[in-house]
Amino acid sequence: MVEKVEKETSHWWWLETHKRSRRSPLLHSTLAELDMKTKAMLKLIEEDADSFAKRAEIFYKKRPQLISMVEDFYRAHRSLAEQYDLVKSDSAARLQKTFPPPISLTKSQSEKFTTMTGQMYPSFSENFDPEESALSEVEDHKLDSEIQVFEETKTYIVSGRICNDEVAKLREEKEKLKEENRIQRDQLLQKDEEKRNVIRHLSVAVEVLKEENLKLRKGIARDSPTKLSPFEFNKLKWKFFGGSPSS
């Protein structure tokens, strides 16, 4: 209830337009359509969200709808302004035809004309309607208010675009970090593969050395000292351990 009252208070510029009772059918129809569009725009703009990011996401999704509403609002406002200008121009033309420009009068003729006018229209000031004379000023003020609302809506849209730019930058930064992580992961995998290749080569070399060692042991076992003469034994010992054979 409090939220509703606060919203109504913030929309005083809109609610004030509902207090006039003197309306033509055309004006009533046009304002009813304008009220409907204004209400839809306010509902879209003031939609609540849990966080700023969520609000930005909602606004980004509904931005085309809001832009379409602003376009309709602009066309309606332009149509009202053109109709108002047409009515003012027609009224001015009729006044010029009804009351042509005054002719030059001499002093005596001017005094006589003033006296005759006072006798013919003694109650003109009493029948003058201030509300009707101020209608043009009120309508101008109304147009100024509508222009201000349109400018505020446009400012909100520009702010939304700035917010969308920030979201786009964050997404771009996120994609950049993901790409850097992928490159680093590929580099680590490449280094791991290089290490595995080195290990495989070392393993092969170790196996070759083991086989050669086994062959040497078998050769030594086959040519053991029990089967060799002392001279051959000394010769074999010199061959493996160095030194000169003893005689």
Give yes or no: residues 68 and 182 share one domain: yes
pLDDT given for residue 159 in this prediction: 66
Residue numbers of the chain with a pLDDT score lower than 50: 1-2, 5, 103-105, 113, 117, 120-135, 247
Burial of 26 (0-12, 13-18, 19+ CB in 10 A): exposed
pLDDT at residue number 59: 75
Residues 200 and 189 in one domain: no
Is residue 126 situated within a structural domain? no
Number of domains in the chain: 2
Q: Does a structural domain hold residue 201? A: yes
User: In whole angstroms, what is the distance from residue 164 CA to residue 59 CA?
Assistant: 9
* 144 and 236 both lie in a single domain: no
The amino acid occupying position 184 is Q
* Residue 2, pLDDT score: 45
Domain range spanning residue 216? 194-241
* Angle between helix 52-98 and helix 135-222 axes, rounded to 10 deg: 150
Would 236 be classed as within a structural domain?
yes
Q: How far apart are CA 13 and CA 44, in angstroms?
A: 18
The reported pLDDT for the residue numbered 100 is 52
